[in-house]
Amino acid sequence: MDALILCAGKGERLKPLTENRPKPMIPIAGKPILQHIIDKIEDLVDNIYLIVKHKKENIIEHFKDHPKVKFLEQGKIDGTGEAVLTAKNHIGDEFLVINGDIVFEDTLEQFLKYKYAIAVKEVSDPKNFGVVVLDDKNNVIEIQEKPENPKSNLINAGIYKFDRKIFELIEKTEISKRGERELTDAIKLLIKEENVKGIKLNGYWNDVGRPWDVLEANKYFLDKIKTYISGKVEENVIIKGNVIIEKGAVIKANSVIEGPAIIKKGSIVGPLAYIRPYTVLMENTFVGNSSEIKSSIIMKNTKIPHLSYVGDSIIGENCNFGCNTITANLRFDDKPVKVNIKGKRVESVRKLGVIMGDNVKTGIQVSFMPGVKVGSNCWIGASCLIDRDIESDVFVYK
């Protein structure tokens, strides 16, 4: 049994986080989405083929020493069907196919019992997903794409079990309206010829497509951590709840850490810093004097040295915050924060701060309004109020 994980997509909806890394390498509770997936399946399969393309170097660097992992490069990024076809001349007779941008809790052992299977997840509002209709024996009888009137509340959860027949069927499919060769079109052909079992996932599942999905999944997995402190903790530090402080991290005097939180190796917190629940500080970050971080992911090498507040935000690598950089994360009217996703203004969640790419520098006293995105390599000049999205590589000075 082999596995195929689809990791080639551009992750447009998660820009700017996906400008320099593929979506599966975005960290959730301190490790990439793809690491969460591989941890779940590595004991079940012989080979794990990763279909890569966009920013593939990140994936190759991280997994190159894994004994079961092999990399295959998709020709063009033109659909999940095309991504699966990339493995045609490599993979064994039967295999799992998994989207590289989902996190889930269920074991996939049950999939191995069937020749053809699809994971389905029950949701309250299935309209924006691929809806799967099952018969009374749980065989798939129909797949509806983002239907106005869904026939069930089960959605395609992005985990499949196939044999090599799927390649023939993908080759028979037409190019879809959005110019892609879609795996689901091949599955629609498959259900006409074979029994395809719908396997209901009972545990947590999240299709990590938008920035607030990243923060939600981060919270879920942080709730599972157990305290493990091997870094240095100076005098008068208060630690509450479950907290991981890795070896090589230092918590300086008079800081407060409220778990669940993860502080990764090489990071320095304090003196007098306040780390609140659901925060992850990736490797070599610095959160200094009177800075407060809440429900946020701060990626590696980023520095927030003094008098700053970062809440419900995702901050990329190698950023540097000037003194008194502040993120707003809540509207006066308590309504969901609006975010631009692929050119559309969409409602997110009640609390959302800033979504920032890599290598951003802010001057002193910079403020961000809720839900704004800041592209990589920007400089934001002193005293700016950022109330709009900023493209990458821009110097904003008023």
Side by side, the strands of the sheet bearing 297-298 are 228-229, 243-245, 261-263, 279-281, 297-298, 314-315, 355-356, 373-374
* Identity of the residue, 86 or 291, whose beta carbon is nearer to ligand TTP in the bound complex: 86
For residues 288, 289, 293, 299, the Cα torsion angle rounded to the nearest 10 degrees is -10
Determine the Cα–Cα distance for residues 273 and 319; give it in Å rounded to an integer: 18
Question: Which candidate in 54, 62, 66, 306 is catalytic?
Answer: 306
Q: How far is the CB of 162 from ligand TTP (least distance, A)?
A: 15
Q: Which amino acid is residue 210, in one-letter code?
A: R
Closest CA to 294 of 324, 327, 318, 264: 327
Q: How far is the CB of 331 from ligand TTP (least distance, A)?
A: 25
* Identity of the residue, 10 or 350, whose beta carbon is nearer to ligand TTP in the bound complex: 10
Closest CA to 109 of 221, 34, 217, 1: 1
Residue nearest to ligand TTP (CB): 9
Binding site residues, ligand TTP, CB under 6 A: 6-14, 23, 51, 74, 77-80, 82-83, 99-101, 180, 209
* Identity of the residue, 187 or 269, whose beta carbon is nearer to ligand TTP in the bound complex: 187
Q: Which residues contact 18 (CB under 8 A, 6 or more apart)?
A: 10, 11, 12, 26, 54, 55
Q: How far is the CB of 19 from ligand TTP (least distance, A)?
A: 12
Say whether 36 is catalytic: no
Q: How far is the CB of 113 from ligand TTP (least distance, A)?
A: 25
72: DSSP letter: E
372: DSSP letter: -
Q: Which amino acid is residue 127, in one-letter code?
A: K
Strands 279-281 and 261-263: parallel
Q: How far is the CB of 64 from ligand TTP (least distance, A)?
A: 19
* Identity of the residue, 183 or 261, whose beta carbon is nearer to ligand TTP in the bound complex: 183
* Identity of the residue, 100 or 260, whose beta carbon is nearer to ligand TTP in the bound complex: 100
Q: Which residues are catalytic?
A: 306
